[in-house]
Amino acid sequence: MSLLESHDVLANSGVAFGTSGARGLVEQFTPDVCAAFSLAFLHTLKGQFTVDSLAIAIDNRPSSYAMAQACAAALMQQGIQVIYYGVIPTPALAFAAMERKIPSIMVTGSHIPFDRNGLKFYRPDGEITKADEQSILTIEVGFRALENLNELTVSKAAAEEYIQRYLSLFDQPFLTGKHIGIYEHSSAGRDLYQALFEQLGAKVTPLERSNQFVPIDTEAVSADDQLKAINWSKEYGFDAIFSTDGDGDRPLVADENGVWLRGDILGLLCAKQLGIEALAVPVSCNSSIELSQAFKLVERTKIGSPYVIAEFAQLANEYASVAGFEANGGFLLGSDTEINNKVLKALPTRDAVLPAIMLLAATTSNKPISALVSDCTVRFSASDRIQNFPTEKSKQIIQTYTNDTAGLIALLGFEGLTVERVDVTDGLRMTLSNDDVVHLRPSGNAPELRCYAESTSDEKAQQLVVQVLSKVKVL
């Protein structure tokens, strides 16, 4: 039986860490690559934690179960007890594992196409750090090549605990009288959400469950999905539509008119309803957050949950309640918080359910979701991406034009405007002389170039994105 070195296997795999987890093509996640990641993760933890058990869960991608089998087989070689929670949302896995003070691995590629997949790693105290990522890639762990992958027995405990986390906050079914649509597609949480919202009092209509994996990107909602939500709202008279990305950590919520909310506006409304004092949010988020004056401090970070989480420790030294969210909608609760005189424990990883519930809790008969959004939206954002755009080309464009922003905006067709401010926290973010914002950044998860824009109206922001991406394609 051949012996392998984790460092060598990973260095030759073609798999790399992105903004959240290791991502690559399905064929790159061979059983030995999955084993190498799992064991390198385990040994990275050994200096800080005593580990005898590890939890694993998956999304609905066709390749995810076999990857979980490989991770489990490698860990069991090392005498680690593996708890397999089956198909559940990433935050459900993270919450269950953190409650048990054990590490966990989520097999998911989130929103990227089904020909790709990934692994997300959680320490017993939450998401791994960027330093942990480097350790996983460089540590040397010897292991035997995998020969047999055994079937895994599913525990339902994590799914049940995740639902109870939110049901326990409310003495009354506060959604009585509300009609909520749930766009199920292939979301990892699709078997949980109907029961959750029904137990909170809502009438629920499930929509469009898919047997094929659907790569929903909450930051770049397709025109087809935009039209679906509007038509569903007209047909059913929904108060809201709820959905998520593939692994259930990023929410997608539509108002009573079927208009999908921007993730950062949803996060803003959730944080206000929770009474959060200090926020950490990525540089790509809408500046309505600061302009709302609802928070004592708003700290801007690079894009990706590890960067948001890294700010929590510092913020917690000075503020009683801390949270973060991203432009994609994922909400991270950085401190224990009281709701209805009940404690909601911190969950410092992206979660789709909390912002949806808090948004619905904020609605009243004369304040539907659209009115809440209108009240808090001072600036308007839009985003989209060019798919199958080589990452190296994206990086080259940003590197070339960071020192020639005047040349770039001329190429992008912004005649008569100048660049007033440049932010290179993550990518190239330019504030123009008319206060419009254009932000270019390579995706950390797939070969895509993303564009974020901010302006004085939704239409203007959308136009900016279309204009910029059409010009970038021919650079």
**Structure token digits, residue 200:** 């909170």
Residue 433: C-alpha distances to residues 277, 337, 416, 420, 455 (Å)? 32, 41, 9, 6, 12
Using CB atoms within 10 Å of the CB of residue 63, give its burial: 0 to 12 exposed, 13 to 18 middle, 19+ buried: buried
Q: Is 284 a catalytic residue?
A: no
Residue 85: C-alpha distances to residues 89, 96, 106, 156, 165 (Å)? 10, 10, 10, 6, 17
Please say whether the beta carbons of 35 and 146 come within 8 A: yes
Q: What is d(CA 220, CA 457) in angstroms, rounded to the nearest whole number? A: 18
Instruction: Please name the residues in contact with 313: beta carbons below 8 A apart, sequence gap of 6 or more.
Output: none
Q: Which of 20, 104, 110, 243 is catalytic?
A: 110
For 274, list phi and psi in degrees, rounded to 5: -80, -15
Q: What is d(CA 331, CA 334) in angstroms, rounded to the nearest whole number? A: 10
Q: What is d(CA 82, CA 151) in angstroms, rounded to the nearest whole number? A: 12
**Structure token digits, residue 297:** 């401090």
Type and span of the H or E element at 408: helix 405-411
Active site residues: 110
